[in-house]
Amino acid sequence: MARWLVYWTPENVEEFEGQANFRMDCLGSGVENFGSKFSKGDTVWIHSIDSWGHHSILGKLTLAEYVTSREEAEDRIERHLSNVRFTNYWIAEKPWNSIKDVPFSEVPYSLEFESGKKLPPNYSGKHFQSPRRLTEEDNLLILDLWNAWTE
């Protein structure tokens, strides 16, 4: 099973945080290969860089099921996705938690990524436009940070 780092824009995060019933229950996309890029059991770390430059881990999802319509996703997660325009979704395993704010700014400099391409010194959200596959060591580094802040 693979481990991924997936970026949400500050606008997405602000929108989701404004929804009373928002949970980290699915991951959607309009990208053609979205269903085949990930696999059941993959770990996806959601992160964002806000307008002040603070980088945070927002949540961790373990992918459980791929669906090919918004309606099917809504049935699985039991909430509406009316503001979301995607048609393809990976549904996460439960429990579905709210967004967290785990400080992440220094950690990305230590990440190797499966590609071997480290981040530049002044990285930004544009460096995360595509999901990045993590090494096992990268995943453990993020997991240790996550556990320190959420347990």
Distances (CA, A) of 97 to 22, 27, 92, 113, 123: 9, 13, 10, 26, 28
Pairwise CA distance, residues 34 & 20, whole Å = 28
Consecutive 10-residue runs of the chain (151 residues): their mean pLDDT? 95 88 91 90 97 94 95 93 84 95 93 94 90 97 96 84
Instruction: Give me the pLDDT at residue 3, please.
Output: 97
pTM of the complete model = 0.94
Instruction: Give me the pLDDT at residue 20, please.
Output: 82
Instruction: Give me the pLDDT at residue 32, please.
Output: 82
Instruction: Give me the pLDDT at residue 67, please.
Output: 95
